[in-house]
Structure 1
Amino acid sequence: MCVCIFFCKIKLQNVTRLCHTKSLISVNGQFPGPRLVAREGDQVLVKVVNHVPNNVTLHWHGIRQLRSGWADGPAYITQCPIQTGQTYTYNFTITSQRGTLFWHAHISWLRSTLYGPIIIFPKRNDSYPFKKPYKEVPIIFGEWWNVDPEAVISQALQTGAGPNVSDAYTINGLPGPLYNCSSKDTFRLKVKPGKTYLLRLINAALNDELFFSIANHTLTIVEADAVYVKPFNTNVVLITPGQTTNVLLKTKPYFPNANFLMTARPYFTGQGTFDNSTVAGILQYDSPSNHSSNNKIPLFKPTLPPINATGFVANFTRKFRSLATAKFPANVPQTVDKRFFFTVGLGSTPCPKNMTCQGPNGTKFAASVNNVSFALPTTALLQSYFFGQSYGVYTTNFPTNPPFLFNYTGTPPNNTVVSNATSAVVLPFNTTVELVLQETSILGAESHPLHLHGFNFFVVGEGFGNYDPNKDPANFNLVDPVERNTVGVPSGGWVAIRFLADNPGVWLMHCHFDVHTSWGLRMAWIVLDGPLPNQKLLPPPCDLPKC
């Protein structure tokens, strides 16, 4: 077994974008952060040294962390943060995974600048289920604020209002030519004619799903969240925060006398404010006669769907199917031990006395799962669970169904107040789970990208309106549904997933819009140890950070 050793120095760095220079938190002086490259089956050791005033954790998004939950990274769930001057070594093995994932900070809004690609190659002598590409290129989308994002979310939580939106989106850290004062900060993808490129798309934006397209070029989707899918062609990709999508780009067989914009802009269904701008890079054929300094070369622009193109999104997401071959099977649970029904959406909490709040009707914005807004503890849940010290830290009475029934996608109820608690659901080892996630229209319907730590899951069904437990399961796909770690709960609709709880530990599930996570749209699953030695959570490492 190979060992991949990766050193992360968290430190401050001055970066200029949109004519603004600011000091941001980075890894090893790079923004975006460095690539973590490994092979399926590798053991990975990442030593993190914190040189900034902020508490820090890193999450290896999509890595299953089999029995290594101590390395998962969400603050106060699997670990206490790495404090200033401290170090922590994340130690995990990549098991039965290959493809594109990414790493990012998992505390407050630090992932606005602390993120980077994870590239997992197949085992040696294994090949892709498609023709080997000429070249592979990570393309990671992000968001840029001209001010400190930590101050943005801190102000929002204090006032109860929505946070100020970002000033730009970025491709590989660069906003591109469609923003003022940023034409020099443009990502350029230089290609050769007649070649096939593998683009590893990653949405690391904090709060927005994104449409992406390359003018006059077709993309072939071959992977989602580090799982191969049945290939299909598209001119536009929709990718939610937390998702990764590998696409094949076949270039034209000749040198075109043109350059081509590659653009991304948000898909948005909510009622609040959002960044309605467009990031762009340039696809440029690497010909001596085709240089960016030649202003006579035409520049083609792609056509992206409307901002609120929910119909397009639904049709696009339904095209994803697992390969379901002998080598890459779709091991969908055919029987279910436990069924859960979770509502997800926005709500409010009362304004504290002697304070003026700027949320709905003078309240503070909140978000919840089954009307419970998750309150972060001050001690890590995994540590409390492992040492049997849960009393006063968390409870295990999280509601497995909504506490009261209403028309979830119709007229909202008069009472929009949510409760606050640190609560979890306990699952015996090897439980097969079916979970229906129902979006609610309280304070406005909008989509929610839900990410489950510690597991992949199969998306067996989705639809609009209220989920019907008597009719909708008849249409579930139990043959070749897509396998993911992050799924978009449709605006005004529902999604059904299934997974096998075969990974002991404490696992966070949350909306990957960071504003919704900050407002409490998260909960935890506790999976108990199995009877065999290789089915038990390993003890914590000796350098596990202390709170």
Structure 2
Amino acid sequence: MTGERGRGNGERGKGMRMSKANEEEPQNVPTCPGCWNFAGEVAWHYGICLLNSSELHQLAVEETPYRRLCSTKNILTVNGQFPGPTLYARSGDTIIVDVYNKGNRNITIHWHGVKQLRNPWSDGPDYITQCPIQPGGSFTQTIMFSSEEGTLWWHAHSEWDRATVLGAIVIYPNRGATYPFPKPHAEFPIILGEWWKEDMGQLYKKTIQNGGEPNMSSAFLINGQPGDLYPCSKPDTFKLMVDYGKTYLLRLINSAVQEIMFFSIANHKVTVVGSDASYTKPFSSDYVTISPGQTIDLLFTADQSPNHYYIAAKAYVGGAGIVYDNTTTTAILQYNGNYTSTSIPSLPNLPSHNDTKASVHFTGSLRSLADQNHPVDVPRKITTPLFYTLSVNTLPCLNNSCAGPNGTRLSASVNNISFVDPSIDILQAYYYHVNGVFRTRFPNFPPLLFNFTAQDLPLYLQTPKQGTEVKILKYNATVEIVFQGTNLVAGDDHPMHLHGFSFYVVGWGLGNFDKDKDPLTYNLVDPPLLNTIAVPVNGWTTVRFKANNPGVWFMHCHLDRHMSWGMDVTFIVENGKGLGAQILPPPPGMPPC
């Protein structure tokens, strides 16, 4: 199979096929007779087909014209593709990627969910672990997989460029190992996203300058296409071709910039078998709730009458009064064979946009597989308890001239600290002992105690402190974080993502956390192991992890407006004893600041 690369005319992403598992192989995972990109083209130079070895790949960030919603604009792409190429690996592999910035603005690439043991230099968030790659520059990143198995993804981690600079990562088990679920007939990445008619760089700058909410997106996407329900989109709607009676694995990724999403397939149940590159106990559901940054692995069987069925996704917005895109993106599940299809595919019954009960019910159903081959290691004795409030805030604006509430500037905070990006990255400042870049006084507990989820909170609580404060963690510390959402300005869900680690989600609830009662409900037997978790609107979530990865690691809300407003924390995990517990030396060619 052959095909042109880098088309911007809407053909990319129309249909997808993946190589099936080699029937002669004893294990039930796909081999690499060919690694396929979104257009079904053989893509050896995109796929990672060598096992337990280093392989060099080149990703070029460049402007490419793409047509969506009846108009054409230039977007940042990788290798001319949107979504970008899928990378393939096996557990424990190392991949070397040369990233070239052929675009018109600074860029970085983050390998979302890859722990990068002792290697924060290639993690990617700008001004945290590196300065951005400037136009015309390049940076060689070493991607070190460890225990991850399943689905992750890569994306830009500068401004809001991840709207178009992104792609899937598929991590197979080691050769000889098997999936802990029935062998699928085939498997497909399904990437949910957002599309703006305006330029993303201009949208970001305008939002930061005026201090208000960003313009909502013009459409949602499935594998780069809006779908039948949007203008000028029907001919290019993504189609998933299936055979009756076969079972398929969907690797679902939410790359949306600003929204948690509901996802469903009309008339078909899905079975959840993994999330964030960790296996889960299988459970059946009619729908999926998936946060920005999160991945969910789903099995489904094509067991309905041969026909065309809609695959659909729309926004979940739990906060009151929040403006959101209320449209629905669709793809088509199409059965192979000879039959007469209905004129209009049936739509799935997605939960309503503000159905918090449905959202937390799905997320609360996730459990680690916790079997002999995939044991859990939940920290029991906590050495570092942390309590972090998550708030939307406001800052005063000269002459009340900003676009936030009452002329203020919107902000966000953790423990009333709104994070400020430094001018050089924190990792190099820490490694080379550069003074004056950051301070180490991030509070373990909120400095202001109040009824976090009450209505009509006093206005004086809305103004945070600003600074580049970091939290120091001892090597091998056992950490518990209680995230507490607040109702300042407007309560909202907060999908919190931690770089460098996966964490166990041991508990959650609505309202204020009760330190005496709520820990009694913790699940310490089979909690899900994730890297991104949505803290429910005006609720709390508790996570635990062991700080056994030395380096500088970012934690932030994955709603990009909240991250840009300052809902961020930077952890510095100190070196342990011995070379195996210390940060690797920096690679050559770090981008200059």
Q: Give the CA deviation at 1:6.
A: 1.7
Matched with 2:34 is: none
Q: Give the CA deviation at 1:317.
A: 1.3
Matched with 2:333 is: 283
Provide the secondary structure at the position in 1 that maps to 2:406: helix
Question: 1:406, 1:413 within 8 Å by CA — same for their partners in 2?
Answer: no
Matched with 1:135 is: 186
Give me the whole-angstrom Cα distance separating, in 1, the residues matched to 2:412 and 2:326.
Answer: 23
Question: 1:257, 1:298 within 8 Å by CA — same for their partners in 2?
Answer: no
1:317 counterpart = 2:366 = no
Give me the whole-angstrom Cα distance separating, in 1, the residues matched to 2:181 and 2:360.
Answer: 26
Matched with 1:480 is: 526
1:388 counterpart = 2:433 = yes
Give me the whole-angstrom Cα distance separating, in 1, the residues matched to 2:338 and 2:591.
Answer: 54
Matches within 5 A, 1:6-405: 6-252=57-303, 256-270=305-319, 271-289=321-339, 296-351=342-397, 353=398, 356-389=401-434, 391-405=435-449
Question: 1:4, 1:42 within 8 Å by CA — same for their partners in 2?
Answer: no
Give me the whole-angstrom Cα distance separating, in 2, the residues matched to 1:303 and 1:73.
Answer: 38
Question: 1:6, 1:36 within 8 Å by CA — same for their partners in 2?
Answer: no
Provide the secondary structure at the position in 1 that maps to 2:386: strand
Provide the secondary structure at the position in 2 that maps to 1:70: helix
Give me the whole-angstrom Cα distance separating, in 2, the residues matched to 1:93 and 1:357.
Answer: 44
Q: Give the CA deviation at 1:272.
A: 2.4
Give me the whole-angstrom Cα distance separating, in 2, the residues matched to 1:217 and 1:514.
Answer: 32
- CA deviation vs aligned residue, 1:176-213 (integer Å, no higher than 9, x gap): 00112211120100100110100000000000000001
- CA deviation vs aligned residue, 1:21-54 (integer Å, no higher than 9, x gap): 0000000000000001111111110100111121
Give me the whole-angstrom Cα distance separating, in 2, the residues matched to 1:147 and 1:525.
Answer: 35
Match of 1:462 among 508, 516, 537: 508
Aligned amino acid, residue 332 of structure 2: I
Matched with 2:580 is: 534
Q: Give the CA deviation at 1:170.
A: 0.3
Unmatched runs of 5 consecutive residues or more in structure 2? 1-51
Q: Give the CA deviation at 1:314.
A: 1.7
Aligned amino acid, residue 327 of structure 1: N
Q: Give the CA deviation at 1:92.
A: 2.6
1:520 counterpart = 2:566 = yes
Question: 1:333, 1:432 within 8 Å by CA — same for their partners in 2?
Answer: yes
Question: 1:258, 1:300 within 8 Å by CA — same for their partners in 2?
Answer: no
Question: 2:151, 2:169 within 8 Å by CA — same for their partners in 1?
Answer: yes
Give me the whole-angstrom Cα distance separating, in 1, the residues matched to 2:464 and 2:189.
Answer: 40
What stretches of structure 1 move > 4 A for 4+ residues in a row? none
Matched with 2:452 is: 408
Q: Give the CA deviation at 1:265.
A: 0.3
Question: 1:337, 1:431 within 8 Å by CA — same for their partners in 2?
Answer: yes
- CA deviation vs aligned residue, 1:316-347 (integer Å, no higher than 9, x gap): 11111101112101110011001000000201
Give me the whole-angstrom Cα distance separating, in 2, the residues matched to 1:325 and 1:257.
Answer: 37
Q: Give the CA deviation at 1:5.
A: 2.1
Provide the secondary structure at the position in 2 that maps to 1:358: coil
Question: 2:496, 2:555 within 8 Å by CA — same for their partners in 1?
Answer: yes
Give me the whole-angstrom Cα distance separating, in 2, the residues matched to 1:141 and 1:5.
Answer: 28
Q: Give the CA deviation at 1:143.
A: 0.3
TM, length-normalised to structure 2: 0.90
Q: How many residue pairs end up in the alignment?
A: 539
Q: Give the CA deviation at 1:298.
A: 4.9
- CA deviation vs aligned residue, 1:511-533 (integer Å, no higher than 9, x gap): 00001111111110000000111
Give me the whole-angstrom Cα distance separating, in 2, the residues matched to 1:492 and 1:388.
Answer: 39
Aligned amino acid, residue 259 of structure 1: H
Match of 1:428 among 439, 458, 474: 474
Provide the secondary structure at the position in 1 that maps to 2:361: helix
